[in-house]
Amino acid sequence: MAYVYMISPHLCIDDNDPVRGHILSTCFFVAGFASLLMATFGVRLPVAQGTAFYFLLPVIAYFESSNDTCSILRKQFNGTIPMDSPEYHEAWTQRIRIVQGSILVASLTEVVIGLTGLVGFLFRYITPLTMGPTVVQLGISLTPMAAEKAGQNWIISGLTIIMITILSQYMTNVFIPIPRISKSRNNRRFRSFYVFKMFGILLSILIAWFVCSMGTQFNLFKEDDPARTDKIVGNPISDSAWLRIPTPFEWGTPIFSLSAILVAFTGLLTSMSDNIGDYYACSAVSNCPPPPIAVINRGVFIEGIGSIVSALWGAPTALSSYSSNIGTITITKVASRRVTQVFGLWLIVFSFCGKLSAIFVSIPDPVMGGVFFVMTSIIIAVGFNILKDIDFESPRNLYILGISVTLGSTIPTFFTAKSSNMHNNFQSLSWLLNNETVQTLLSNGMLVTGIIGFILDNTVPGTRKERGLHGRNLRSGVVSSETFHIYKLPWNMDNWLRKCFPFLPIYLKKDTTL
């Protein structure tokens, strides 16, 4: 939901346009399909799939660096673009098709990486000091966008942040007793349901939304205050159909842009690295053996397939595993792939209800601004968590971390602002700096940070332990009977794949001696 809110302005989609609800429905559909696919044929762990925020910043960087921005289009219509105009429809559909094309190519690459077993090779060089600063840079780059939304009404956004903090942090141990039916007298008749830990953010949104509604009802907000619930032009909920089935190529065929494809690879590598970490974390909280390399390859392959479906169905996002789902498993102690499969089916069913998605996109901007602040802080924290295995007392590591994040925050400003000083200082390279592809790549803070971290960490001398690589051990596809039973594909597909495609590194082989 937050992804659709954040990317819509950069696709030139008006806040009052019901198409935002349609895009959210499509995101629900592809996320449900990918979750079902991952739990059944992927890593076979309860890993839920959802929109990949790692692709958000590259997409924004691409459109911000292009000459055809939404602000130019608005100037042509004196500030407001009529939603029924052909120019408006052409503007946002063209942008979403460019995103589709870039994600499609990046996802095909992810499929190839999974099918060829390149994961082990890539992660010899894509280290924590490459990925950690990149994720930190993502959170830092998204913070101004969160501030813009929250700044529309700091009281409401502040209330949202406070409620999220209270419900999801201070009240984590508060539970609601739920009756349970058990034949055994020794079992407890009630089970603990930690509602605030699981639904703290959702409840906070509802509370802040209710405050906005009451403030509007009693006219406590100014007429032009974005916190008002009557500010939306028209009625997107009533205008949305009860039944809406997402279809392929709904917005048109994908458009392939070289610069957009190149920046999408930044999101691909970052997402893939984080996903592999989620696989290991999920196996740990599920009391399962660590997934072998064949299962990792399979997971990367299936995530690529899910992202391809996302691109074909018109969702402006790739798909990635959700780390928050692993936290839910830790709380509920329910580590079942069946639950994830049912979750995927429910998402698919929800995606068919157009009015449900329209309700979500009607949330006032200041409320979502508070959510964005929490989300960006979590992204930054995830980036530092990736660095947990490196030696923070090493001057080498501190230098690489600091210089990569600093330059990743600074260099893009010269290209997004098209600084004249940059061109004056490098007149001999003006032909290169004026190239649209180069400008798009260097205006992407994630890419700049990742490249600097990659080069320095792989060239500056340092031990494996110092670099945080001593714990990396991608296990082979020959596994014990216990591991084989957990990760084997259903319907004896491992044996079938071995006979038909013996060269693919995505199936397991049981070692009877273990």
At 57 the pLDDT is: 81
pLDDT above 70 (res 80):
no
**Minimum mean pLDDT range among 50-54, 248-252, 280-284, 323-327:** 323-327
What is the spatial distance between Cα 146 and Cα 469, in angstroms, rounded to a whole number?
A: 34
Compute CA 205 distance to the chain's CA centroid, rounded to the nearest angstrom. 20
pLDDT, tens digit (0-9, with 9 covering 90-100), for 468-477: 887 665 555 5
Q: Spell out the residues 6+ positions from residue 32 whose beta carbon is closer than 8 angstroms to its own.
A: 343, 344, 345, 346, 347, 348, 349, 350, 351
Q: Quick one: tokens of 330?
A: 């830790």
For helices 395-416 and 445-459, angle between their N-to-C axes, nearest 10 degrees: 150
Closest by alpha carbon to 51, among 320, 412, 345, 434?
320
Lowest-confidence range among 104-118, 181-195, 481-495?
Answer: 181-195
CA distance 281 to 43: 12
The pLDDT value recorded for residue 146 is: 87
Check if the beta carbon of residue 405 is closer than 8 Å to that of residue 449.
Answer: yes
The letter for the amino acid at 185 is R
Contact 410, 454 (CB under 8 A): no
Q: What is the spatial distance between Cα 100 and Cα 385, in angstroms, rounded to a whole number?
A: 30
pLDDT tier for residue 306 given thresholds of 50, 70 and 90: very high
- What count of other Cβ atoms lies within 10 Å of the Cβ of residue 468? 22
pLDDT beyond 80 at 15: no
For residue 136, pLDDT beyond 80: yes
Q: CB of 483 within 8 A of CB of 289?
A: yes
Confidence (pLDDT) at 427 = 55
